[in-house]
C-alpha cells in the first residue's frame, strides 16, 4: 500500500471559497486530503470499510454502483473528522474535515498522469475528457484481470511450450521425490536452478529420477535442502561432466553436503559460491 497526504494550498483554498459553496475554511471537505493506493480493487473495498470504522464519517462519495456506460472518476471517497482519541489532544481541529480517497495503483497512475491536463488545464477539451473516460474503462478491465489473473489465464488450456514444459517436469518430479511441503516457496526459481544443474551435467529429468533412487541417503536427508540433494547426486554420478558443464557459473557447496558427499570436497574453489 502507498499513502499520499496533502494540505490544500492557500491559493486553492481561496479559489474554492470564491465559488460561494462554503461559508468558511472550516467547511471545506478536502482541506486535508489523503489517497491510499492498493494493488487490487478488493483491497480498496476492505480499506474503505476499515477507515469508516476508525474515523467518524461525515459523508461518503462514489460508493454506489454507477451506470454501466459511465466511466468517470469513481474512486470511493470518505469525508470524516479526526477520531475522538486524537481530538482529545488536538481540540482545535474538532471541526476540520478530512477527505480520504481509495484507489488502485493503475487508477492512481492514470489520475496522476491526467490531473493537470484534464482537471486543471487552461481550457475545456471534449477530446481530452473523452480519452480520460475511455482510459478509465480500459484500466478497470485491467484491474479486474490482474486481481484474477490465475483464473483468467485458465480460460484456455496452455499450449505446448517446450521450455515451460521441461521446467514443470522438474517441479512435478520434485513433488514426487520430496512432497510439496518440503519444497521452497519460489518453485519457479527452484526449477530454473535445477534445470541449469541438470543441463550442465548432461542429465535429463527422467534420468535424474533413476539416479536419485540409488542415493536415498541424500534424497531422504533431513540436513540438506532439495537443491543440495540434486547437487549431491550429480557430484556422485556426473562429477567430471558437471565441472565442465557449469563453465563460468558457480555452485553452492555447503558444509553439510561435504559431510555426506566426499566428491563435494573435490569441487574446484574457483567454481564455488563463497558461503562464509
Tens of pLDDT along 189-202?
999 999 999 999 99
Residue 37 or 67, more confident: 37
Residue 117 per-residue DSSP state: I
Residue identified by cell 483554498 is: 13
How does DSSP assign 255-266, residue by residue?
HHHHHH-GGGGG
pLDDT tens-digit series, residues 179-236: 999 999 999 999 999 999 999 999 999 999 999 999 999 999 999 999 999 999 999 9
For residue 155, is pLDDT > 90?
no
Give dist(CA 217, CA 65) in Å, integer: 62
Alpha helix locations (H) across 179-268?
A: 187-201, 205-212, 216-219, 226-246, 255-260
The total of other beta-carbon atoms located within 10 Å of residue 194's CB is 22
**Residue 112 has what pLDDT?**
85
Give dist(CA 266, CA 268) in Å, integer: 6
Q: Predicted confidence band at 71 (pLDDT cuts at 50, 70, 90)?
A: confident
Q: Is 107 helix (H, G, I), strand (E, B) or coil?
A: helix
pLDDT tens-digit series, residues 240-257: 999 999 999 999 999 999
Name beta bridge partners: 261. none
Contact 226, 184 (CB under 8 A): yes
**Residue 127 has what pLDDT?**
86
**Residue 99 has what pLDDT?**
94
Q: Predicted confidence band at 18 (pLDDT cuts at 50, 70, 90)?
A: confident
Q: What is the CA radius of gyration of the chain?
A: 30
Largest CA distance in the chain: 86
Give dist(CA 219, CA 4) in Å, integer: 51
Give dist(CA 175, CA 192) in Å, integer: 15
Helix (H) or strand (E) holding 150, with range, is helix 149-153
End-to-end C-alpha distance for the chain, whole angstroms? 36
For residue 158, is pLDDT > 80?
no
Contact 110, 136 (CB under 8 A): yes
Give dist(CA 150, CA 221) in Å, integer: 35
**pTM of the predicted model over 0.85:** no
Here the cell at position 218 is 541424500
Contact 132, 118 (CB under 8 A): yes
Amino acid at each position: 500500500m502507498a499513502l499520499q497526504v496533502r494540505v490544500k494550498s492557500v491559493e486553492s483554498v481561496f479559489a474554492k471559497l470564491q465559488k460561494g459553496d462554503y461559508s468558511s475554511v472550516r467547511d471545506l471537505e478536502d482541506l486535508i486530503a489523503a489517497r491510499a493506493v492498493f494493488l487490487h480493487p478488493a483491497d480498496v473495498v476492505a480499506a474503505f470499510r476499515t477507515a469508516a470504522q476508525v474515523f467518524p464519517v461525515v459523508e461518503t462519495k462514489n460508493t454506489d454502483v454507477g451506470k454501466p456506460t459511465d466511466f468517470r472518476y469513481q474512486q470511493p471517497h470518505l469525508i470524516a473528522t479526526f477520531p475522538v482519541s486524537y481530538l482529545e489532544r488536538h481540540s482545535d481541529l474538532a471541526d476540520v474535515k478530512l477527505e480520504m480517497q481509495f484507489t488502485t495503483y493503475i487508477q492512481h497512475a492514470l489520475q496522476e498522469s491526467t490531473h493537470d491536463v484534464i482537471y486543471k488545464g487552461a481550457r475545456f477539451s471534449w477530446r481530452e475528457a473523452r480519452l480520460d473516460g475511455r482510459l478509465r474503462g480500459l484500466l478497470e478491465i485491467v484491474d479486474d484481470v490482474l486481481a484474477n489473473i490465475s483464473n483468467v489465464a485458465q480460460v484456455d488450456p496452455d499450449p505446448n511450450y517446450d521450455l515451460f514444459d521441461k521446467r514443470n517436469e522438474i517441479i512435478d518430479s520434485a513433488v514426487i521425490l520430496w512432497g510439496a511441503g518440503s519444497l521452497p516457496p519460489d518453485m519457479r526459481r527452484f526449477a530454473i536452478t535445477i534445470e541449469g544443474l541438470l543441463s550442465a551435467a548432461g542429465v535429463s529429468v527422467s534420468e535424474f529420477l533413476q539416479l536419485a533412487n540409488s542415493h536415498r541417503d541424500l534424497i531422504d536427508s533431513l540436513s540438506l535442502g532439495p537443491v543440495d540433494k540434486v547437487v549431491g547426486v550429480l557430484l556422485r554420478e556426473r562429477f567430471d561432466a558437471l565441472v565442465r558443464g557449469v563453465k563460468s557459473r558457480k555452485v553452492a557447496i555447503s558444509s553439510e553436503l561435504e559431510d555426506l558427499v566426499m566428491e563435494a570436497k573435490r569441487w574446484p574453489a574457483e567454481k564455488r559460491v563463497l558461503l562464509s
